[in-house]
């Protein structure tokens, strides 16, 4: 049976898109990729996407949306399996994937904060989440040990923000979280995580932060 045509609709800075890309790359699945401008969404995309959000994965004529659903679909259909087999452990992994989305929300609040109070509240949120992760992560190199999992595919894009924040003078994120620091270092050097974005990602993120006009914008 021939393989379906996979077409991923992307935005170059989107961490949720990267989750899908890392999953595709880990499995060596060929796919086509179209980048759209979220500030000017094309009509064909609005017709296709019920939420108006990326990623969208077209599987032949079928449309999938929501990055976790896309990652789990790919994991069911293509090897090697990235989710654990045991149902309880798998459910825990799904919960940590959700936690990665919450962490992305806290990071967004940080780098778009309009004033110092908002910035400090968001910093506390991010640090609180890192502390939770410190208690949950394995001794490495990946979230659950030797093998990469969908939790790693979700957190690779999260960790990508920190070097950019550090370059804007915001550091110390992992001072109390050595295991998370080691995990982040391993993921940011891992080929599928590296290749999930295009060259120039950090500069584009800085331009985006500047465009938001918040506290950090003045440092770009």
Ligand X SMILES: N[C@@H](CCC(=O)N[C@@H](CS)C(=O)NCC(=O)O)C(=O)O
List of residues contacting ligand X (CB under 6 A): 11, 14, 16, 38, 52-55, 66-68
Tell me whether residue 11 or residue 73 sits nearer to ligand X (CB atom). Answer: 11
Query: CB of 208: closest distance to ligand X in angstroms?
Result: 11
- Least distance in Å: CB of 49 to ligand X? 8
Using CA atoms, how far residue 56 sits from 32, 52, 59, in Å, is 12, 9, 10
Place of tokens 């006009």: 213
Q: DSSP code of 51?
A: S
Residue nearer to ligand X on the CB measure, 52 or 145: 52
Q: How far is CA 185 from CA 6, 72, 140, 159, 180, in A?
A: 30, 25, 10, 8, 8
Give the CA dihedral 118, 181, 87, 91, nearest 10 degrees: 0
Give the shortest CB-165-to-ligand X separation in angstroms: 17
Q: Residue 58 or residue 67: which is nearer to ligand X going by CB?
A: 67
> Which of 14/186 has CB closer to ligand X?
14
Neighbours of 140 (CB within 10 A): 15
* Rounded-to-integer distance, Cα 183 and Cα 181, Å: 5
The active-site residue, picked from 6, 8, 9, 14, is 14
Query: CB of residue 198 vs ligand X: minimum separation in angstroms?
Result: 15
Q: Is 89 a catalytic residue?
A: no
Active site residues: 14
């Amino acid at each position: 049976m021939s393989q379906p045509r996979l077409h991923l609709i992307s935005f170059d800075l989107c961490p949720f898109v990267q989750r899908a890309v890392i999953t595709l790359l880990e499995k060596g699945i060929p796919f086509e990729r179209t980048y759209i401008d979220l500030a000017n969404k094309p009509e064909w995309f609005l017709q296709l996407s019920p939420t108006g959000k990326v990623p969208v994965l077209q599987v032949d004529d079928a449309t999938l949306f929501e990055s976790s659903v896309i990652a789990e679909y790919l994991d069911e259909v293509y090897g090697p399996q990235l989710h654990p087999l045991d149902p309880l452990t798998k459910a825990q992994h799904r919960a940590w994937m959700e936690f990665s989305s919450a962490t992305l929300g806290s990071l967004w609040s940080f780098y778009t904060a309009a004033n110092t109070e908002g910035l400090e509240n968001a910093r506390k949120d991010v640090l609180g989440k890192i502390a939770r992760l410190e208690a949950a992560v394995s001794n490495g190199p990946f979230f659950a040990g030797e093998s990469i999992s969908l939790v790693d595919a979700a957190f690779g894009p999260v960790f990508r923000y920190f070097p950019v924040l550090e370059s804007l003078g915001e550091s110390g994120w992992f001072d109390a979280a050595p295991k998370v620091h080691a995990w982040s270092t391993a993921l940011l050097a891992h080929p599928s995580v590296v290749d999930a974005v295009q060259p120039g990602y950090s500069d584009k993120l800085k331009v985006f932060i500047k465009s938001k006009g918040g506290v950090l914008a003045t440092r770009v």
